[in-house]
């Protein structure tokens, strides 16, 4: 179920680096605003907002920034009106790509995404063209510094986690999507250091890519990662761990 590849490792590493740089704040603010707009500003009655708050805290977002984003989304302060869309497509080698987008200008965003896909060897597809190749799961990444793996494993399984992976300096815990916020809260109560907590789209199977085709895939994914309106980016390719 964990479904991790070299690409998944790179993606998580980038997310952690972005969190440290503060770059991820813009994406989290959008999520906080839309969550509050659609479900209200009370996290106790709004599970999506509750999860967005967990993500914001894991990224060390200042409380004032977090509160302002919720107030803007709930209409208590003036803010930008974002819309959500999902775009699907294919990359070099026939890999499947899903892009979760939040934008205040759909026409501009889809034009930019189509341009990037066409320029770097990809193509946009119809809704549903590749989403069947993925499944949703919650993912919590915690630092494993000073921790006993067996104790943590017992803890998270008792909380209802469905998978557990040890990787380098981190433990990766998978959950059913509805359980993510609760399990994140319980992990935090254990004083484990949460690095990242979010809903992921995990591939059901992986496409092996190598050589020049892999270079093309990585260039495309890098440009899509840099597109400001793409909140989350998922793909189903993998490659050898020793590739540099």
10-residue mean pLDDT series, the chain (244 residues): 54 58 79 93 90 85 93 88 94 95 94 97 94 93 92 95 89 92 91 87 90 92 91 88 50
According to the model, what pLDDT value does residue 176 have? Answer: 94
- What CATH number should be reported for the domain holding residue 186? 3.30.70.980
For residues 109 and 222, membership in a common domain is answered with yes
According to the model, what pLDDT value does residue 3 have? Answer: 44
For residues 122 and 152, membership in a common domain is answered with no
Residue 216: partners with Cβ closer than 8 Å, 6 or more residues away: 91, 92, 93, 120, 121
- Asked if 200 and 165 count as a contact pair (C-beta separation under 8 A), the reply is no
- pTM for the complete prediction? 0.81
- The continuous run of DSSP H or E covering 198 comes out as strand 194-203
* Within a domain: 146: yes
For residues 113 and 211, membership in a common domain is answered with yes
Domain boundary among 73, 92, 123: 73
* Within a domain: 100: yes
**Cα–Cα distance measured from residue 233 to residue 41, given in angstroms and rounded to the nearest whole number:** 27
For residues 141 and 198, membership in a common domain is answered with yes
* Within a domain: 122: yes
Q: How many folded domains does the chain comprise? A: 3
For residues 138 and 128, membership in a common domain is answered with no
State the residue range of the domain holding 127: 83-132+205-238
For residues 126 and 140, membership in a common domain is answered with no
């Amino acid at each position: 179920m964990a479904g991790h590849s070299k690409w998944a490792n790179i993606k998580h590493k980038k997310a952690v680096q972005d969190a440290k740089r503060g770059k991820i704040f813009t994406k989290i603010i959008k999520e906080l605003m839309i969550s509050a707009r659609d479900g209200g500003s009370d996290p106790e009655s709004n599970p999506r907002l509750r999860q967005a708050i967990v993500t914001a805290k894991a990224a060390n977002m200042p409380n004032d920034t977090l509160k302002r984003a919720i107030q803007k989304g709930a209409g208590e302060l003036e803010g930008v009106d974002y819309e959500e869309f999902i775009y699907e497509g294919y990359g070099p080698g026939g890999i499947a790509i899903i892009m979760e987008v939040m934008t205040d200008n759909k026409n501009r965003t889809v034009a930019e995404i189509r341009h990037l896909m066409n320029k770097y060897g990809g193509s946009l597809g119809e809704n549903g063209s590749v989403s069947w190749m993925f499944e949703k799961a919650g993912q919590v990444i915690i630092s494993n510094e000073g921790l006993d793996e067996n104790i943590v494993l017992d803890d998270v399984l008792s909380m209802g986690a469905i998978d557990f992976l040890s990787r380098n300096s981190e433990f990766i815990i998978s959950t059913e999507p509805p359980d993510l916020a609760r399990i994140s809260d319980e992990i935090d109560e254990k004083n484990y250091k949460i690095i990242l907590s979010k809903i992921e789209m995990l591939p059901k199977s992986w496409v092996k890519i190598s050589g020049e085709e892999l270079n093309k895939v990585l260039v495309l994914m890098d440009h899509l990662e840099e597109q400001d309106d793409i909140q989350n980016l998922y793909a189903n390719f993998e490659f050898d761990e020793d590739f540099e």
